[in-house]
Amino acid sequence: MKSRIFSLAATALAVVALGACSSPLVSTSPASRTATVHTTSTTVALSPTAVSDLQSQFVQVVKTVSPSIVQIDTAGGLGSGIVFDSQGDIVTNAHVVSGFTSFTVTTSTGTRYPATLVGTDPSHDLALIHVSASGLTPAVFGDSSSLQVGDVVLALGSPYGLHGSVTQGLVSGLGRQVAESRSVVLDGLIQTSAPINPGNSGGALVDLNGAVMGIPTLGAGAGDGVGFAIPSNNVVSVAEGLLQTT
């Protein structure tokens, strides 16, 4: 319920932003300093407290999830990853580590570790790598089947090597099928308006409770506002399968 309340507030904030660059949609009362957003069918009032609470929720989610997000460097480029368990296993996209067996993982604190490949599942574009490190913070994975179009989500990762970056958007669609390459077609993807840029691959798409709901895997193009993520339920199933086969 909490995340749905914040989703409503975020939607209202988006309408406020649009009002600044198009026809007037927003009126304010100097006495109460409460923004009133007029739509075609409803009126939503956002008090300063509600706006402050929403902002605090965003900040808290980032603080909670960031320790579980890592940057992965290979001889051919970089991507992102999510700490899967306390044993040092990290889940990422298969295309991030494809063709390599050793990597460098950089944690949110800047600590660097050598990593080795545990296994890959190219058909789902998922892979598992391992670092020998203690004190890592495993992410909390949510139930991606509970997502609804319109939910607010944040994407955390290392786009263009900018470690610890965060973007925000909505769940724009569910159950999408996208051809990642001629040989790999991914089913059941989450479509999101959160910007997904090179380096975001393998990072986290999280809800406002701080639960990982997907792994960003590709974007349609810079500025298009169309990105795709592998649902968390698929991620957990594949990762656990890779662990069992090693």
Average pLDDT over residues 127-149: 96
Residue 20 clears pLDDT 60, i.e. is over it: no
Of 4, 110, 121, residue with least CA distance to 66: 110
The 10 Å Cβ neighbour count of residue 90 is 32
Average pLDDT over residues 35-62: 73
Ordered DSSP codes for 175-188: EEEEESSSS-EEEE
pLDDT band at residue 73, thresholds of 50, 70 and 90? very high
Catalytic residue selected from 80, 95, 151, 232: 95
**How far is 102 from 113, CA to CA, in rounded Å?**
11
Residue 90 clears pLDDT 90, i.e. is over it: yes
CB within 8 Å of 49: residues ≥ 6 apart? none
Domains, in order of start, for the chain: 2-55 (no CATH), 67-138 (2.40.10.10), 144-233 (2.40.10.10)
Phi-psi region of 3 (alpha: psi -120 to 50; beta: other; left: phi over 0): alpha
Higher pLDDT among residues 43 and 122, named by residue: 122
CB within 8 Å of 170: residues ≥ 6 apart? 149, 150, 151, 152, 153, 192, 193, 194
What is the token pair recorded at 191? 């479509």
Burial of 100 (0-12, 13-18, 19+ CB in 10 A): middle
Share of the chain above pLDDT 70, in %: 79
Residue 162 clears pLDDT 60, i.e. is over it: yes
Of 133, 156, 195, residue with least CA distance to 68: 156
Q: Which pLDDT belongs to residue 37?
A: 42
Amino acid at site 33: R
Catalytic residue selected from 68, 80, 158, 201: 201
Q: Note if 201 is an active site residue.
A: yes
Asked if residue 216 lies in contact with residue 207, where contact means CB atoms within 8 angstroms, the answer is no
Q: Note if 56 is an active site residue.
A: no
Q: Note if 130 is an active site residue.
A: no
Share of the chain above pLDDT 90, in %: 70
Outline where the chain has alpha helix (H).
2-19, 48-65, 94-97, 232-244
CB within 8 Å of 239: residues ≥ 6 apart? 84, 89, 91, 126, 128
Catalytic residue selected from 73, 89, 125, 151: 125
